[in-house]
Structure 1
Amino acid sequence: MTERPHPSAFRRRFAAGNHLIGTFIKTPVTHTVEIIGALGFDFVVIDEEHAPFDRVTIDGAILAARAVGSAALVRVAEPTPAKILSVLDDGATGILVPHVASADRAREVVASARYRGGKRGFSNSPRAGGYGARPLWQHIEAADAEVTVIGMIEDPEALDQLDAILAVDGLDGVFIRRGDLTVALGAAGPDAPEVQEACTKIFAAAKRAGKPVCIMVGGAAEAAAFQARGASAFIVSTDLGFLRTAATKALAEVAALAPA
């Protein structure tokens, strides 16, 4: 495996359409982040929306990611300026923002994450500013250059506004959330025609905008299929998913040795 670039290069790599691999972190401890990052995953997504993370455990998970050289994104629980500011001050590489269903919402999110042209509250005293070591304007320049903002497309109403959403300056790309689209569309499953049609619309709009697409996949075969359609960043399973898969396999293998 080639040496992984520094996490500060993640935004540039994402924008360039580099092949990036990450996973969701659902367990609010540092250990899983360390293990995943040390294996060579390009990024982790700390899941505040669907896992029991709070400000302190997010802070620890970000520190663990930085320790092993993995980019740390946070899926914020809600797209408020306060939530976005807190994870960026803690040193997150970027944010994954739920329910970006309109251009107005995309602009609000971007404004919360950017200093110049935005409304991010300034402080260089947290980890992001080197605890005061990075001077004011140096911190602002670095943060605006490096923070990655990814909008989640998971609402049917977003499908009619894709071009406007993706045209928002500072929105780096989108994440297709097939699970939520499946539920919202009342589809039989993520592979149902209506969900696949929605994915096709998203890929086409992203291509027109020249912006990358991230998607969650079940494995290499599914990743290859979506790569052919335009995806370049892939979230594979979760820390809990990896644990369950490995534990299930180990249990079955050793249980098979039991005397008849």
Structure 2
Amino acid sequence: MSSTGPGSRAFRERLLAREPMIGTFMKVPATQNTEILGLEGFDFVVLDEEHAPWTRGTLDSALLAARAYGTAGIVRIARPDANSILSVLDDGAAGIMVPHVDTAQKAREVVSWARYLGGTRGSGASRGGEYGTRGADNYRLSDAAATVICMIEDRRALDEIDEIAAVDGLDAIFLGRADLALSLRNTVGPVPSIEDAVERIVAAANRAGKPVSAVVQSMQSDEARWLRGLGITAMMVASDIGLLRQAARNALHAFNTLMKPSE
């Protein structure tokens, strides 16, 4: 596939239009994996600062690699605060994925930190603003491109899911199903199943007109087909490490089959 994809500038537009897009989590703090996935035609990657050893410097390099190879670079930030959001957007991230958004107030704060107009994002002439070349249009163009995705992964979030989904400026919801299942398991008293909780979240997003994203380990799984049936179009598959493991496992199986003695 071509390496000259639409990249970060069109990601938010395509997400909101519910175009089918494929992405993955990036756990290895380097540029090469992002470059390869861009070359192969992945629409986006999520640099996982929350669960992997990314730094400001490695994030900056990988976001540049994403831009160079036509894939949108999103950052799952480690700390849901104004400085973290500012730094990755200044470095040229196409958007942010914010973990553990469990109230509408938190969602409103995240949106404010990511927006110039009507928000509280600090002004800077960096890669995210094309190094000052946009002039008076910078605030409007930056706000139009910066994607805000909130992760729903706590039992508490279910109590406010309609209010969270309806927050103006929140672009999409990501289903944090692993942590949500753990949160439900740790809750005292009756709780919905993870399947019921997911369907409840998706229904709230649909009512608010917001797209939903999720990750699966295989696009050929029943899980993927179930999520697709719920209307999810921004689908992620595993991670760079997970894809490496899958490829290694397949290669090992092929090797063992090839080397098996003839009977």
**TM class, shorter-length:** over 0.9
The equivalent residue for 2:118 is 117
How far the C-alpha of 1:175 sits from its partner, in A, is 0.2
Q: Which runs of 5 or more residues in structure 1 are unaligned?
A: none
Q: Distance in 1 between matches of 2:254 and 2:20?
A: 34
Instruction: State the Cα distance separating 1:12 from its structure 2 match.
Output: 1.0
Aligned equivalents of 2:170 and 2:201: distance in 1?
Answer: 15
Structure 1 residue 229, shift from structure 2 partner: 1.0
1:14-53 equivalences in 2 (<5 Å):
14-53=15-54
Q: Number of residues paired by the alignment? A: 254
- Look up the match of 1:134: 134
Alpha-carbon distance in 2 for matches of 1:186, 1:214: 23
How far apart are 1:211 and its partner, in Å?
0.6
Offset, 1:259: 7.2
Output one character per residue of 1:8-56: Cα deviation in whole Å (capped at 9) or x when no partner.
1111111111111100000000000000111111100000000000100
> Structure 2 matches for 1:73-88, cutoff 5 A?
73-88=74-89
For 1:55-204, list aligned pairs within 5 A.
55-124=56-125, 126-135=126-135, 137-186=136-185, 194-204=193-203
Aligned-pair distance for 1:129?
Answer: 1.8
TM superposition shift of 1:258: 4.7
Query: In the aligned structure 2, how far is the partner of 1:259 from the partner of 1:62?
Result: 44
* Partner SS, residue 210 of structure 2: coil
CA offset digits 1:115-157 (Å, max 9, x no partner): 0010000012x1112223221x211111111100000000000
TM-score by length of 2: 0.92
Distance 2:98 2:147 in 1: 11
Residue type matched to 1:113 in 2? A
Who is 2:217 aligned against? Answer: 218
One-letter code aligned to 2:248: A
1:77-110: CA deviation from partner (whole Å, max 9, x where unpaired): 0110000000000000000000110000000000
Tell me, in whole angstroms, the C-alpha distance in 2 between the residues paired with 1:144 and 1:212. Answer: 18
2:196 maps to a residue whose letter is: E
Question: Take 1:182 and 1:24, find their aligned partners in 2: how far apart are those partners?
Answer: 20
Question: Given that residues 43 and 71 in structure 2 are in contact (C-alpha distance below 8 angstroms), is that contact kept between their aligned partners in structure 1?
Answer: yes
* Superposition deviation, residue 193 in structure 1: 6.7
SS for the counterpart of 1:131 is helix
Alignment correspondent of 1:205:
204
- Runs of 4+ in structure 1 off by over 3 angstroms are 1-4, 255-260
Q: Please tell me the residue identity of whatever aligns with 1:69.
A: G
Percent pairwise identity: 51
Distance 2:147 2:258 in 1: 49
SS of residue paired to 2:131: coil
Paired AA for residue 146 in structure 1: A
Cα separation, 1, equivalents of 2:6 and 2:65: 17
Counterpart amino acid of residue 155 in structure 1: D
Does the Cα contact within 8 Å between 2:217 and 2:237 map onto a contact in 1?
yes
- Whether contact under 8 Å (2:5, 2:43) holds in the other structure is yes
For 2:71 and 2:157, the matched residues in 1 are separated by 31
Unaligned runs of 5+ in 2: none
**Residue of structure 2 equivalent to 1:8:** 9
Cα distance change, pair 259–163 in 1 and its aligned pair in 2 (3 A): closer
